[in-house]
Structure 1
């Protein structure tokens, strides 16, 4: 039978027996994937799943380190091939015991005598989180404007210095003394941060170099002032420490004396989070800040004063770091502060902002997580686990958050469109190089 006869016989078939035809030129588009599949794929690509998996993976690696440093595990591993069950039991006991101790010290302690003692770990974690959140908000806000602010430490120190100079020696009622001390600290941090923005706007100097140098200047300035009588040094002593925070300038306890770590400073941090979210996401100033952060050249062409936005951003960032310092000296350390009042919070704020993806509420949640890890680390240390394990877990969380392709490869998650396009470009370039 010839091809012509087969074609004529096929064309003679009735339309309902012909195979369906689909395509952009026929008007019959092929059916797309189910909505449920699209939803699951987008969910797995989302930042929330990535963040959760980063925390889980960091906990797994932390568990391995706990097991490797445990003496019982090391002793049982000597005769692993003779009795492997002993090693497995020792590993389980060390890892589960460590993370149970972390939970008891950070969230809830079911072995405590009463309910107040049971929930005290959570209040302690929130108290530790308050300055981390405040400083993290300052770093995150600068990130959104395209500025890498690593000067939160210096801004905290200058904020504490302003409070000590201009507010500690006043004799005022609490309703006036407390907000005045808070305002002095915020203004001090804002001025120190604004100096960075001004220098960058006027001279074009890089903010990383500026903040690093200003951190050293702030540190040695505070060291000198707390060692000099008549400035910040406590009267009647030659120790490098300031006078105690006046009682009228201290944050009152939020839930009573049974929970001394949690005070009204945490409420102020929540208010600051709302303000930062509104400024960045809802205000016209935030629109200009985001535009500068995305592309300063396009923002300048659109009529936005990039230099002014840099100054505004660093003023806000420094003020939030000053708020973190006030959470320290008005809540956590009220017996007098030294040049170590920042307690590493200025640098931890960078990791908090990265984990929160430079979003206000993401930074808030990341600060609470880090506060829990810090509060729980003391319970872990009581179990004989090195406190450095918690620092390793924190670092791994940030590492995995900063490398989403690595995380997607480990957990076999679907790649994003940008990653697919980059892979296609790499293949095309390789193919072109081979053919050339």
Structure 2
């Protein structure tokens, strides 16, 4: 069964389960879903806000998917996103350049910051066979405490010690023409960064020799090594690229959706990216569509609660159930296969 069909079935089952939860809590599921989707798509402003909400999810999902396609499970996307966003924020607060030069520099530094944070687990994996799940989780918390110390010490905000100073307008991804196009929403250039990243990763994975080598390592590391592919180099490079994409998510979040960096918080988008990649079947286009769907749910849950008093946790439950069914898609595939075999057998008996 095609991965797209599995994802659609997972989404459908999640929505059905959400409808049952609404019924059990005494709410009308038709109205609930109506306002849930209106909350994300009702007008240009809400569509723009949905795109902005989806932007870091696209990039974190792409980061997880890229690593997974090359045989690595990058759980450290949250830390890489945080550190990449911090590096970009530090440049935005300390470097005096015109916006046309400052933003590209911030994007580049954010990518490099996230990439270097991911290279450490890559080197540990390649050289000492340290499992990347363990090392990337540890790097999450190292990033957390590093930012927790550096921001109050060197970039403390004017009024709050728990966040950095506000970025100046020339260091922000906001564009007035884009906000006006979506009737005042907070959509920003980060969305275009995400679209470009999807296109580049799709081309890299599917159309280049490097992508073929990285996928070969992911499919069978020993066979790839026998074929002459540098496995250790591929592991480090894969983590570098994956972490760099996560760093771009940090730039989009902290210089686009927000204007400062808060301490004491690991960005939830880093963990949500795992779910986005899972539902998107680890393909760039699938990740893009999956992130947009999650963005609609996240944007619409507050509106649904305001209009119908359906708890916003219902939307969270729908997402969790969708993830569950996406993770167990192999069971769905087996059920469908059995039904097909049974139908074929009944048809043969009827003849």
- Please give the TM-score of this superposition, normalised by the length of structure 2: 0.91
Alignment of 1:108-119 (within 5 A): 109=42, 118-119=43-44
1:250 to 168, 172, 196: 172
Aligned mates of 1:96, 1:340 — CA distance in 2 = 39
Gaps of 5+ in 2: 343-351
Tell me the alpha carbon deviations over residues 284-307 of structure 1, each in whole angstroms, 9 at most, x when there is no partner.
000001100000000000011111
Aligned mates of 2:91, 2:178 — CA distance in 1 = 29
Tell me the alpha carbon deviations over residues 261-280 of structure 1, each in whole angstroms, 9 at most, x when there is no partner.
21111111101100000111
Number of positions where the alignment pairs a residue of Structure 1 with one of Structure 2: 338
Secondary structure of 1:156's aligned partner: helix
Gaps of 5+ in 1: 1-44, 71-90, 110-117, 421-436
Paired residue for 2:238? Answer: 313
Secondary structure of 2:321's aligned partner: helix
Paired residue for 1:69? Answer: 25
Q: 1:48 to 1:263 in 2, by over 3 A?
A: same
2:293 to 365, 369, 374: 369
Q: 1:163 to 1:102 in 2, by over 3 A?
A: same
Aligned mates of 2:258, 2:79 — CA distance in 1 = 18
Of structures 1 and 2, the one scoring higher in RCO (CA 8 A, sep 6+) is 2
Paired residue for 1:203? Answer: 128
Aligned mates of 2:264, 2:40 — CA distance in 1 = 24
Q: 1:342 to 1:273 in 2, by over 3 A?
A: farther
Paired residue for 2:327? Answer: 402
Aligned mates of 1:255, 1:215 — CA distance in 2 = 33
Quick check: 396-405 or 129-138, which moved more?
396-405
Is the 8 Å Cα contact of residues 325 and 341 (structure 1) preserved in structure 2?
Answer: no
Aligned mates of 1:394, 1:318 — CA distance in 2 = 25
Aligned mates of 2:10, 2:115 — CA distance in 1 = 34
Matched, 1:187 2:109: no
- Higher-Rg structure is 1
CA RMSD of aligned residues (A): 2.0
Is the 8 Å Cα contact of residues 53 and 295 (structure 2) preserved in structure 1?
Answer: yes
Is the 8 Å Cα contact of residues 325 and 342 (structure 1) preserved in structure 2?
Answer: no
Paired residue for 1:348? Answer: 272
Is the 8 Å Cα contact of residues 18 and 318 (structure 2) preserved in structure 1?
Answer: yes
Paired residue for 2:75? Answer: 150
Paired residue for 2:283? Answer: 359
Matched, 1:101 2:25: no
Alignment of 1:219-230 (within 5 A): 219-228=144-153
Aligned mates of 1:135, 1:259 — CA distance in 2 = 26
